[in-house]
Structure 1
Amino acid sequence: MAKVTDLVKRVLVGRALRSGQLHEQLLPKRIALPIFASDALSSVAYAPQEILVILSLAGVSFYSYSPWVAIAVVVVMLTVVASYRQNVHAYPSGGGDYEVATTNLGKNAGLTVASALMVDYVLTVAVSVANGVDYVGATIPFVGEHKPAVAIVIVILLTVVNLRGLRESGAAFAVPTYAFMLAVLGLIAWGGFRLLVLGDDLRAPSAGFTIDAEQANLTSFAAAFLILRAFSSGCAALTGVEAISNGVPAFRKPKSKNAATTLLMMGLVSITMFGGIIALGLASGVKVAEPSVVAHDLHLPDGSPVGPGYYQQPIIAQVADAVFGGGSLPFVIISAVTALILFLAANTAFNGFPVLGSILAQDRYLPRQLHTRGDRLAFSNGIVILALGACLLLWGFNADVSRLLNLYIVGVFVSFTLSQIGMVIHWTRHLKTETDPRIRHQMHRSRVINFFGGIMTGLVLVVVLLTKFLVGAWIVCFAMPVLFLMMKAIRRHYDNVAVELEITEEFDESMLPSRNHAIVLVSKIHKPTMRALAYARATRPSTLEAITVGVEGAEARHLQDEWERLGIPVPLKMLDSPYREITQPILDYVKTLRRRSPRDVVTVFIPEYVVGHWWEHLLHNQSALRLKARLLFKPGVMVTSVPWQLHSADRLKGRPEPLAPGASRRAGPQVVKKDIKAKDEIKASDHSL
């Protein structure tokens, strides 16, 4: 069983890597870009559409506000990219927003950022995969009918790829990410050329459609609120920007410079794609409505509703249809790589979450296992936890993108805002001690950038909370404090344990117990019992006795008679058990010994079978396991397992151990009777003493 499990693990994850090979997993910029930028780049597939969908609630006339909303999103994006370039230079250790907030604003601010990012990473995986499943489900009915199951399978596949290590996952994701970038940039370039140079008239499939306003005759306040809501939805394009600041240690040297360059490249490409798609969408007359009302609010050119059987194409597909023609090879390629990039966008979270979890575990805010690297030098435990969280969300929300999007981007803008405020404090603190005019000038410039970034992201956060709180963002606002309190509790536990385990003078004086009372548990006289007795004698305890529980009278008397007949030089004590209970009489007896001599220790030796099959565990050692579980809570009691390997365990041992000198002589010939073999083993232990 173990060999089969190991074989499956090696096939899926790959050959284990030595710790010294960590440098081989570091990423050049060409691989780091698709790994860390896939989330930000993929937002082009839905962020422009979300702006138009929200504005469509007030009718097609409100589309005129979309260029201004898009410009506002682009300004925020430029500001955040410029701000985070300062972050990666100032804090290259990989702590990102968490480290910035902790260092400059205190531990509570750092934990707030950490909880926000953890929630956002899980949502990134869920939203990206659900969106990709929606895209594929429109053309493959089976996928559309089983969305949650298909989405969970895709998360599992992404998990396996990421467990193979950063470098391998980057190589796997680089080709589709670059293909998406080239396809969308090519779409924008050719569409712009046709519009501006050739003067062609681009028409999207929905260009002649009309939309019934869900919210007609809006007041000025309601109209402003709707525009702000569209802006907050468009700001989904900023998700993933923070991932590079958390992943700086994964870059090749010079780490900070390479990370900052990758961040700039990602920002420029994302802004170009975002602006180009929404501009071509407006130029070609794209019409998109809220998915829940599209059947009756979106009308065909003849004025009739599109009906429940209508599939609303995503904005990229409609623009590709207008530029290249529906069904053409470029159209098919763009549709395919868009669906693929939506799945791969989750990879950004698969690289950011484990690193953040590792840092939090190192600071004792999360279980220490999250700081341990797996076979392929990835933080495997963090990857698995992220996958489990995303699968739970996909199952709980039925892989519904519109419901999941309402939970999105709250966490990331909390981290953006606190990080930028922290960076302002960082530069202010360093300006007090810096005397070099050139460096002071750079610090002043960086502080201005971060200050402006903090103002912008803070305003966006307020807008997001106001416009999305009642439609789902309250769940994130509830989850973040829960995570915050959980991490505080974990840290408090670790601190309490450290204090409790600290060596004190009182402990030094009482470290050596007065005496050691040894007890060997006996159920019957056989080889495991003989080995346990021999080993207990070899430890030279102050006192040694064998203990058995007399459940069946005849069986107990037979055991005592056999013990005396074999002449075993260890006294056997029979504990009475009128209610046929085995564990409690032993616990009571140990408690009596401890009460009699509190400064002594009691060592309990328990013979156990070592088996080779999983089902054999159900047939053996159950009483021993229950007894050990109870004894471990008794102060001053040591529990020692004495293993006896059954033949079924031979297949797990590998190369057999050579016999010790004289072992064959002590064991005697195979034809020796059981009672003589038992005496020989006891005599051998006497001789060794």
Structure 2
Amino acid sequence: MEQAAQAANGTLFTRMVRAIFGAPKVLKDPHLFHKMSLIPVLAWVGLGADGLSSSSYGPEEAYRALGSHTYLAVLLGLATALTVFIISYAYSRIIEHFPHGGGGYIVATHMLGEKAGVVSGSALLVDYVLTITISIAACSDALFSYVPAQYQHAKLAFSCVLALLLIVMNIRGIKESVTVMAPIFLVFVLTHLVLLLDGVFTHAGRIAPLTHEFHAGLSHDLSSIGLFGILMLFLRAYSLGGGTYTGIEAVSNGLQIMREPRVQTGKRTMVYMASSLAFTAGLLFLCYSLMGVAPVEGKTLNAVLADSLFAHWPMGSGLAFVTIFSEGALLILAAQAGFVDGPRVMSNMAVDSWFPHRFAALSVRLTMRNGIVLMGSAAIALLLYTKGSVSALVVMYSINVFLTFSLSQLGMSRFYLKRRREDPQWVRHLSVHLVGLILCATILVVTTVEKFMEGGWLTLLITSLVIGVCYLIKGHYQKVRQGMSQLDEALLDFPTSGPVNREEPGRNEPTAIQLVSAYSGFGIHTLLSIVTAFPKTYRNVIFVSVAVIDSGSFKGAEELEALEGSVTAGLKKYVDLAQRLGFAADCRMAVGTDVVESVVEECQRLGQEFPRSTVFTGQLTFRLEKYYHRMLHNETAFAIQRRLQWDGLTTVILPIRIGIN
């Protein structure tokens, strides 16, 4: 009865987990990549929201920086729209050369070296955490603008709940979370299209007076502060509106979720995002000028604009509310972009050993669960630290993304300089990236200087700490790799003598089931340990390996086939070595995202096939066990041992020593 109750509880728990996070994906489904990938419109929703939502605060920041010199706003709008197209086109070129995604981290690593890559990757990670944090905080501010004062104290808790909901939605899968949020995006686009077109066409008669105001203001400033003063004023406003461009890189980072043909889908998505952002930001500046919008305490400029334009419409107050409410809702989609791309950057860095390798793993829903949880947890921590203050977060936001932009443009400029003999159009391509580099570097320098004492220093400090931790992690993995290479040098060409055993493993013979990964000195050391520790005990050796689907291999059907082929080839080498040592040997392979689950299922089947079997696996051991070893090196061997021994299968962990501390 008790066992039945436990089984029932386990089933209930499993159903609850699947109801929240969704059922596992079927890896052998030939249409899997097609089902999970995004068409350009959905990619625009999932990845373009970060850029488009910045129109809620980027143009306002730049417009406010003009002070009383608002006659420059139209030029500022043109410069902003042009900059959006330049940066977007530059990233379209990056999409062509890096079709598997990765954005600024991959570009900097391949074009400028791993040191530039880790700087770019760390800056992107901090930026995506800030994307999530500031988007949720700004959304909460918008929603609580219509909440009675006695409930304002619940705003921070509400922000944390939003972050938790986004974590759950993204663990379920990118496409599902994007589909749920698509209506919000559509409402934003429609309401703002009506807002901007109404502002331009109903105030077209103001264009001539606006031209006169421009000439009058320019003449006055030329005589008072001079041309250099006007240029510096314009440059400052232009740079402080740099938040408008955040999110442009999201498409190049998220190419893995694009539907094939991936490059064309990514470039089309980039066109959608750039066009919508340039249109919205540019016309906002024009509407500010045509309407003569002035700041109002407790309201954004967009709210002032909407209230003024819709005041004479039927149900105009309701339409203005929906318009501004949609901005707050779209900021949740901007947070979504952080959850989409942040874990992907983290997984790319994990594959290169800058982050713990477990962050490259995929869940049964084929999402980077560890990265999603870490990004969400960091965002919640920042929300609690800043108490959800948008003013405290916004000063930290723009610096890192323009550091990454600058490194990306520098890397592509170097690329085309090196290819000037092979590419007849290298001058045209180089000029785009050089212009992008100048624009991004200018915004980076001005923003850092202007915002340094207002919170920019904290962004730089956090990014520096992340870079430092990455170097510590990389250094540890390099030491481990050196120790493993010594095993490879000593054992990969292990000599054997005696007859080769080509017999099939006997069902009732004593059987050693050895868990292995790639063919390496580590696995050979484990096999030899079995031979020496249990001499003449086993007649059969069955090698078991799992083709682990992680973010590095989950890029298409061809990559999965190549992974399976590589694992199979390694298993055949182990079988050949065991046969040369006199064992009857065979192998088994499983495919999955969770090593423990896949190994346990395969070993259970082998336990039934070979009743007199023992499972063996190796585990790295260090001379001095440190607190961080468990985080950097998985505890897979012990987890497998617990599961199999509970099922009645004897499991032995053999220590593999390497000469590092």
Task: Report if TM-score (shorter chain) is over 0.5.
Answer: yes
Change (3 A) 1:411 1:65: same
Work out which of the two has the higher radius of gyration on C-alpha atoms and give 1 or 2: 1
Q: Is the 8 A contact 1:48 1:274 kept in 2?
A: yes
Does residue 36 (structure 1) correspond to residue 29 (structure 2)? The answer is no
What residue is the counterpart of 1:361 in the other structure? 350
- 1:431 is aligned, of 420, 428, 433, to 420
Deviation at 1:219, TM superposition (A): 11
What residue is the counterpart of 1:374 in the other structure? 363
What residue is the counterpart of 1:278 in the other structure? 285
Q: Which runs of 5+ in 2 are unaligned?
A: 1-8, 210-223, 497-532, 537-619, 625-636, 650-661
For 1:284, give the aligned amino acid: M
Counterparts of 2:286 and 2:493 in 1: how far apart (Å)? 79
Deviation at 1:362, TM superposition (A): 1.0
- 1:127 is aligned, of 121, 131, 134, to 134
Change (3 A) 1:185 1:497: same
Deviation at 1:197, TM superposition (A): 7.1
Counterparts of 1:354 and 1:246 in 2: how far apart (Å)? 10
Deviation at 1:72, TM superposition (A): 2.9
Deviation at 1:476, TM superposition (A): 1.2
Q: Is the 8 A contact 2:105 2:120 kept in 1?
A: yes
Change (3 A) 1:144 1:633: same
What residue is the counterpart of 2:178 in the other structure? 170
Within 5 A, what are the aligned runs for 1:213-232? 228-232=235-239
Query: Which moves more between the two structures, 65-74 or 368-377?
Result: 65-74
For 2:459, give the aligned amino acid: V
Aligned to 1:16, the other structure's residue is in SS state: coil
Aligned to 1:153, the other structure's residue is in SS state: helix
For 1:456, give the aligned amino acid: L
Q: Is the 8 A contact 1:19 1:377 kept in 2?
A: no
For 1:179, give the aligned amino acid: V
Change (3 A) 1:54 1:499: same
Change (3 A) 1:287 1:143: farther
Does residue 485 (structure 1) correspond to residue 468 (structure 2)? The answer is yes
Deviation at 1:82, TM superposition (A): 1.5
Within 5 A, what are the aligned runs for 1:534-553? none
What residue is the counterpart of 1:498 in the other structure? 481
Q: Is the 8 A contact 1:55 1:62 kept in 2?
A: yes
Change (3 A) 1:506 1:253: closer
Does residue 80 (structure 1) correspond to residue 87 (structure 2)? The answer is yes
Does residue 90 (structure 1) correspond to residue 97 (structure 2)? The answer is yes
Does residue 457 (structure 1) correspond to residue 440 (structure 2)? The answer is yes
Aligned to 1:241, the other structure's residue is in SS state: coil
Counterparts of 1:412 and 1:445 in 2: how far apart (Å)? 25
Does residue 418 (structure 1) correspond to residue 407 (structure 2)? The answer is yes
What residue is the counterpart of 2:61 in the other structure? 50
Deviation at 1:86, TM superposition (A): 0.9
Counterparts of 2:118 and 2:363 in 1: how far apart (Å)? 25
Measured against aligned partners, the alpha-carbon deviations of 1:184-238 in whole angstroms (never above 9, x if no partner) come to 0121112222112799x9xxxxxxxxxxxxxxx9999998766544323311010
Counterparts of 1:193 and 1:287 in 2: how far apart (Å)? 20
Aligned residues: 490
What residue is the counterpart of 2:16 in the other structure? 8
- 1:246 is aligned, of 228, 237, 253, to 253
Q: Is the 8 A contact 2:203 2:291 kept in 1?
A: no
Aligned to 1:347, the other structure's residue is in SS state: helix
Aligned to 1:19, the other structure's residue is in SS state: coil
Aligned to 1:431, the other structure's residue is in SS state: coil
Within 5 A, what are the aligned runs for 1:569-648? none
Change (3 A) 1:221 1:395: farther
Change (3 A) 1:506 1:94: closer
Q: Is the 8 A contact 1:116 1:411 kept in 2?
A: yes
Change (3 A) 1:288 1:223: farther
Counterparts of 2:433 and 2:621 in 1: how far apart (Å)? 55
Change (3 A) 1:265 1:633: closer
Counterparts of 1:643 and 1:275 in 2: how far apart (Å)? 61
Aligned to 1:146, the other structure's residue is in SS state: helix
What residue is the counterpart of 1:582 in the other structure? none
Does residue 470 (structure 1) correspond to residue 445 (structure 2)? The answer is no
Q: TM-score, normalised by structure 2?
A: 0.68
Deviation at 1:75, TM superposition (A): 2.8
Deviation at 1:504, TM superposition (A): 5.6
Aligned to 2:455, the other structure's residue is in SS state: helix
Change (3 A) 1:643 1:190: closer
CA RMSD of aligned residues (A): 3.6
Change (3 A) 1:280 1:645: closer
Percent identical among aligned pairs is 28
Change (3 A) 1:640 1:416: closer
Query: Which moves more between the two structures, 88-97 or 402-411?
Result: 88-97
Does residue 101 (structure 1) correspond to residue 112 (structure 2)? The answer is no
What residue is the counterpart of 1:309 in the other structure? none
For 1:321, give the aligned amino acid: D
Q: TM-score, normalised by structure 1?
A: 0.65
Measured against aligned partners, the alpha-carbon deviations of 1:260-280 in whole angstroms (never above 9, x if no partner) come to 111111111111111222222
What residue is the counterpart of 1:336 in the other structure? 325
Counterparts of 2:398 and 2:642 in 1: how far apart (Å)? 55
Counterparts of 1:171 and 1:118 in 2: how far apart (Å)? 25
Change (3 A) 1:421 1:472: same
Measured against aligned partners, the alpha-carbon deviations of 1:463-516 in whole angstroms (never above 9, x if no partner) come to 11111111110111112221112112211111111211231666799999xxxx
Measured against aligned partners, the alpha-carbon deviations of 1:534-583 in whole angstroms (never above 9, x if no partner) come to xxxxx9799xxxxxxxxxxxxxxxxxxxxxxxxxxxxxxxxxxxxxxxxx
Measured against aligned partners, the alpha-carbon deviations of 1:54-98 in whole angstroms (never above 9, x if no partner) come to 344xxxx23333333333333322211111111111111112111
Q: Is the 8 A contact 2:132 2:338 kept in 1?
A: yes
Deviation at 1:634, TM superposition (A): 7.7
Counterparts of 1:644 and 1:421 in 2: how far apart (Å)? 51
Q: Which runs of 5+ in 1 are unaligned?
A: 202-216, 295-311, 435-439, 513-538, 543-630, 659-689
What residue is the counterpart of 2:200 in the other structure? 192
Q: Is the 8 A contact 1:187 1:320 kept in 2?
A: yes
Counterparts of 1:358 and 1:284 in 2: how far apart (Å)? 47
Q: Is the 8 A contact 1:52 1:288 kept in 2?
A: no
Aligned to 1:100, the other structure's residue is in SS state: helix
Deviation at 1:640, TM superposition (A): 13
Aligned to 1:433, the other structure's residue is in SS state: coil
Deviation at 1:321, TM superposition (A): 1.5
Q: Is the 8 A contact 1:370 1:379 kept in 2?
A: yes
Counterparts of 1:63 and 1:376 in 2: how far apart (Å)? 51
Deviation at 1:47, TM superposition (A): 1.4
Deviation at 1:633, TM superposition (A): 6.8
Counterparts of 1:640 and 1:17 in 2: how far apart (Å)? 23
Q: Is the 8 A contact 1:133 1:144 kept in 2?
A: no
Deviation at 1:341, TM superposition (A): 0.6
Deviation at 1:351, TM superposition (A): 0.8
Counterparts of 2:371 and 2:641 in 1: how far apart (Å)? 36
Counterparts of 1:116 and 1:428 in 2: how far apart (Å)? 26
Counterparts of 2:465 and 2:18 in 1: how far apart (Å)? 37
Deviation at 1:432, TM superposition (A): 2.6
Change (3 A) 1:242 1:160: same
Deviation at 1:161, TM superposition (A): 1.1
